[in-house]
Structure 1
């Protein structure tokens, strides 16, 4: 009996130690002050988290690879297959190409939120005339391909590079808004829509945008949700329910400020090649010509042996094979989940449709690149302030932040920043902004068409010169890279290293896109089961 009692006392003692240790507030490793304590000023230590990627994305663990290394021939004799070793940071990429149904969601959102703005809708409408050919009977696709339910899971085409960027921006806003409404950080969908009787908006005529929200410009009655973040600041105002609350901050790790974007050319090629399954102990055991294993375009597996592994044109006049034995099962495009995914889990990284990348095309891109994450096309921007004194962001008529070209390559002094903001605030409301989603129409033209542009920290004035365009070259700053091959291409273009370009305002029945997202935090995607050097936790500080 005495022995059992001793064990019980010991168990309670251990439990008490555990409970005490769990209730010990975290402290700053440098000042010793406690975090999340409203009595000392409300310094906050945010939960360390690696947020889940947005819907539709799969993780792509980064690493080094030879860009251009999978291409062994140069059929155009234009020296575009130069090889270079580049490192790619981990990122996320859409599992599939963006489909017609996804784009119809975008158009539907425009209709319900801006029903009288015909320009906005028309600008984002794909060019369905890309199917119209003078010597072919493709006219039914002009009206049917985008909207008919039979094609809803087929890749959207007729979309320009500019429209693809607009979609990425819109998708980011809708993802963040949905997270905030479904978790109660904003008023929920049912309440915001009055049980479906009105369109849920931040306020009438203005839709949710991430930057103004993170800047604290969306709050108050009709905006605050039932599960707002607790504000520990002693200067915070107490709401009607007796609690001090605040909007979500970027530090909370709940939403993202960067969000969806087009992948860079290097990211796209790295993801398409999918060398991850062929790598062991930093040695790539087998090269690839296509996103799948092997050197051919037919399946070697017993159950599917001989079947074509992608949607492409096998030869001149052969888009699908012979009746009764269609080789790739598709005459034009195919559903976005057709064929087997590559080793990263990505569908149709070869064939079906070519895909836009973020890069501006240059013939010798391989000879001029930065050390990490090579990309050509940076145009840095600053958010314009409508009220410099209060720090309020300027917004366009759709609630989106107004962006201006960034001029400095380092942090400005307060005097410089104040003077710049005052000058911008005094500028006419119609002053065009560049480099972002600020207006409908030709929003990407302010740094092009012969107008000067100084790209800040790249270190030199990159004034656009179109004198030679159309005379000795078709390449200018509007030329954007697309890759991957399509239903209308030969097998050569299925190689991930091949690259072509098109004007950012043009569209084609052979070009679509998918989105990517930057990975935040550790580069290792799957650390479980792998060796790691142990790291000690910091010693607990206790004031004496």
Structure 2
């Protein structure tokens, strides 16, 4: 049988089919441009038979967040270990890209949280969400005005919230995720609803099955609004506390020291800025302090007429120059909670990709004699980092670390949120 006359026809059909499946004109499919048809089955998406594939233009913009490009780095303290803890020795790791709040969570943000908690939650939970304002109280200091005014007085609106425990900070992250995604749901349109089946001319089309939304596309904010879901790509990932590795990596901001095309990390920063000093070395603001900290015994701000950091306690969350990632106050102002459980050997017991300690794996709490008052370590102590308004410069170095129980709070610890960067390695 002579098949030569049929070959052009079959070859043409094959080429058309291949183009339809692989999107010849637009190149290979991607997350943003998956194509009209499945490259596996050839079935058209977003039809009664086909799978729902939502329009996706990338992760929605998260309020307050700055993108942190990940990469290889050396974590650990490069400073002399004056506390003799030896709990953060240097090691090379890779941290994936993520997002982080450009500034610390401020009093106005916590008051907004309390506003919605009071509307939507029980009185018991509202009471549990209140910061401990008595953290300012001292028997031998007249800090009484801060107890009464620091959280709620308008002048302190954009000062970092303090008196919040690690547990309270996590509750805030959960609420923030829900509230931001609820707001996204109110403005999102469902652009991927199944196409209605066309009616046949002169007869019944067997029922208007296309009028019923596909599974998972129920209204979230009225007719025509898209349901917030992972598959739709119109939701933000969870706001959360950063891991210790993420926090330290973001504070170092080594991106500002890198030359294009040079993969060697030839410099190591002592602080989140260049140099080994705590004053600005450049420009019109040369000589000004780069952070809010305690210079020495009894010296919180310098002398009148020649103040150094200018802040007796905390300061405006956007005060002082940002680091090379655009993050404010990654040293000083307030210490910041991170996710990790504290262990002195975290630098040794770790993965070298996105290291994180969620519990006492390889270093169980039973090894620490807390009941016998020989140790303070268990699975309920969390790491905090960064130094604060009442700490000396040593604690401003990103590699230093301390810990406190997760239900405790002080006037020198606050926090900021972070978020993964899903669907991308950049």
Is the pair's TM-score, using the shorter chain for normalization, greater than 0.5? yes
1:255 to 226, 235, 240: 235
CA deviation vs aligned residue, 1:146-165 (integer Å, no higher than 9, x gap): 00001010000000000000
Q: What are the ranges of 5 or more consecutive residues in structure 2 without an aligned counterpart? A: 1-23, 27-33, 191-214
TM-score of the superposed pair, with normalisation by structure 1? 0.65
Q: What is the CA distance between 1:140 and its match in structure 2?
A: 0.8
Q: Does the aligned pair in 2 maintain the 1:313–1:489 contact within 8 Å? A: yes
One of 55, 59, 65 as aligned partner of 1:51: 59
Contact 1:90–1:523 under 8 Å retained in 2: yes
- Between the aligned partners of 1:167 and 1:501, the Cα distance in structure 2 is 20
Q: Secondary structure at the match of 1:141?
A: helix
Partner of 1:323: 304
Aligned mate of 2:377, from 466, 475, 479: 475
The 8 Å contact of residues 369 and 375 in structure 2, kept in 1 or not, is answered as no
Q: Counterparts of 2:60 and 2:277 in 1: how far apart (Å)?
A: 36
1:514 to 416, 421, 426: 416
Alpha-carbon deviation of 1:224?
A: 4.8
2:38 aligned residue (23, 28, 33): 28
TM-superposition CA deviations, 1:330-363 (whole Å, max 9, x none): 1000010000000000000000000000000000
Asked whether the equivalents of residues 185 and 225 of structure 2 are also in contact (C-alpha less than 8 Å), the reply is no
Cα 1:313/1:21, change in 2 over 3 Å: closer
SS in 1 for 2:382: strand
Aligned Cα root-mean-square deviation (Å): 2.4
SS in 2 for 1:120: helix
Match of 1:268 in 2: 247
Q: Deviations over 1:314-341 (max 9, x none)?
A: 1111100010111111100001000000
Residues in 2 aligned to 1:166 and 1:137: alpha-carbon distance in whole angstroms = 32
Q: Deviations over 1:216-254 (max 9, x none)?
A: 6x957xx5513234xxxxxxxxxxxxxxxxx34312110
Other structure's SS at 1:85 match: strand
May I ask how many residue pairs the two structures share in their alignment? Answer: 370
Q: Secondary structure at the match of 1:168?
A: helix
User: Is 1:337 paired with 2:337?
Assistant: no
* Residue 87 of structure 2, aligned match among 77, 80, 88: 80
1:481 and 1:354 map into 2 onto residues whose CA distance is 10
CA 1:470–1:35: 2 relative to 1, 3 Å: same
Shift >4 Å, 4+ stretches: 460-467
> Displacement, 1:141?
0.5
Secondary structure of the 1:482 match is: strand
Judged with a 3 Å threshold, the aligned counterparts in structure 2 of structure 1 residues 372 and 139 are, in CA distance, closer, same or farther, namely same
8 Å contact 2:288–2:309 — kept in the other structure? yes
Alpha-carbon displacement from aligned partner over 1:427-483 (angstroms, at most 9, x marks no partner) = xxxxxxxxxxxxxxxxxxxxxxxxxxxx9xx7x997868753452110110110000
Q: Partner residue of 2:68?
A: 60
Matched, 1:348 2:356: no
The counterpart of 1:226, out of the listed 207, 223, 226, is 223
> 2:391 matched to which residue of 1?
489
Q: Aligned partners of 2:35 and 2:144: how far apart in 1?
A: 69
Verify the 8 A CA contact 2:342 2:377 in the aligned structure 1.
yes
Structure 1 residues 326 and 470: CA distance shift in structure 2, 3 A: farther
1:26 CA drift (Å) = 1.9
Find the counterpart in structure 2 of residue 175 from structure 1: 180
TM-score, length of structure 2 as denominator length: 0.82
Pairing of 1:95-494 with structure 2 (within 5 A): 95-114=102-121, 117-183=122-188, 224-229=221-226, 247-256=227-236, 258-280=237-259, 281=261, 282-377=263-358, 468-469=370-371, 471-494=373-396
Contact between 2:365 and 2:379, CA under 8 Å: does it hold in 1? no
